[in-house]
Chain A
């Protein structure tokens, strides 16, 4: 584990920039979101409530290819990406999306499908995850197999002890990167003890998780239950939750342009929208607000776990913060358990 004092962060950034395009939280107006960073002074280090970093690897609108006359032009590959300062809930979300877009064969008989746009960006990336010393009241990462210091999806874990950052290699890539950089001091026993203290404090700030076994039993039986009518009544079916969710990854494909020049783009889509499942025949299997509301939670807490072994939720709480009508995923889970 190496130690970087905050006033030496510029030096560290210079090293990182040699091989990577560096993304980090940057404050612009009232929002803090992940942007490409040239100077350490542009980084907002303390805001836990940044926008989610999904866009770095999975932009809202992404060109699949362009065409001009009758030629197809592929999109050029860019320099590898390093992301500084994502939270454990975001780092884990990369792994979850990778289960879909970056999937190599996971079990015999699986069809091998990989998404080149995701893989070219994500596979070479270096993810620096910063542990959350003070989780927010909307955080429920401990409910869904994540946590304020969970290292899933991280190449390097970063601990902020007030004076500086302690960097711990997690993945092979991360360990190699740290062993290659010189000029920074090694951490000592006291630093390591401090980290343990920070971890313990953070744990106590989180709420008691739900009973996951019970959730499984109940959600399996809930399909026709009236709780879905009750819970969805207030949902207005906008896409604020899905577009701010680190794990939502559904997309739409659109062609833009004319016959001799144009592009095919992939765009975020949302299961909350009525046209998401509208079929060419005019039939819509998820016609009602309730159907779409139920789908979102079923996908996250039933279908995805059944297919991939993990909840499609990392407990970041962003959807709770942005929902205009206060749909709280924790209330939804509690209602499912209690019916």
Chain B
């Protein structure tokens, strides 16, 4: 599959269909990959795709990275299902023209959550891994352990119903015809069953670990304000200390700001150095949006986003009671 991918990207360069391609290369650690920016055909050989390719590369189209995307240049982005949805979001929100994008889909079988792997091997040093169907063998200095791949997949992958790009220009192999048989909101349903106090406790327990490094915000493709409200200091909108009151305001506002825009890629949760379950509330809001407005972000470029459109027959019980 990787060979096919490399050949396809080479062909795109040869046909002058792309000026640059963003993909992944092997990372410096056994369970990691690294974003790769391909500007010339010789660099294509470094391209990989496997379970370590956890970054959502769409993020390099916006924010401070906007300068990587020169005006009118054609950018190829290699995407998993969720990453493709971010690109669709960018087209919907007019961050990039569709004709300037070449969306190259790859068949995603889920990505590792490094933290889950480390827990399974008692934090022992991992030196390599091999995948065999639904099993993954993790190798270390003096051990080898076979794990269920689903168990060590990122939370976002465990609840993913769009593993393949819903919109693409090229697809390596074939996109799956049927959606995976997964209850995408299983974790949210469980959370909703908790009492109000328990839900609040769960949220405060998680967010109290936050050190305000903003890794979650910075890896999030949907979070691309020119100046984020937490960086606004004249006037200052929010206290900067890692106290729970300010921290929770940061996270809840971020949750609300990506409502109907979050593609549930889980990049936030994987980037968090403190291991906070950042996906849960986003997923909860995704569920609300889906139930109330029948909208899922990043699927269709021509569909009006839930938060930017109005229909008379929308549920209004939150206003009318």
Contacts and interface: CB of A to CB of B under 8 A. Distances in A.
B79 to A, nearest CB: 16
Given A138-B29, A256-B239, A256-B241, A31 B219 contact: no
A325 B27 CA distance: 9
Interface string A312-339: 0000000011101110101100000000
Interface string A234-260: 101111101110000000101010000
Interface residues of A, number: 43
Interface stretch (B171-179, B271-279, B282-290, B302-310): B271-279
A240 B242 contact: no
A187 B64 CA distance: 58
Contacts of A238: 213-215, 217-219, 271
A242 B147 CA distance: 33
Contacts of B239: 254, 256
Contacts of A137: 29, 125, 127
Which 5 A-B pairs give the minimum distances between C-beta atoms?
A324-B271, A238-B215, A239-B213, A326-B34, A328-B28
A270 interface: yes
A234 B32 CA distance: 14
Helix, strand, loop or mixed for chain A's interface?
loop
Contacts of B64: 237, 274, 288-289
* A30, A47, A252, A265: most-surrounded residue (chain B CB, <10 A): A30
Interface of B: 27-29, 32-35, 37, 55, 59-60, 63-65, 67-68, 115, 119, 123, 125, 127, 141, 209, 211-215, 217-219, 227, 231, 233, 239-243, 267, 270-271, 273-275
A49 interface: yes
Contacts of B55: 324-325
Nearest to B65: A289
B241 A254 contact: yes
A137 B139 CA distance: 14
B240 A252 contact: yes
Contacts of A240: 213, 215, 271, 273
A285 to B, nearest CB: 15
B32 A236 contact: no
Interface string A198-239: 000000000000000000000000000000000001101111
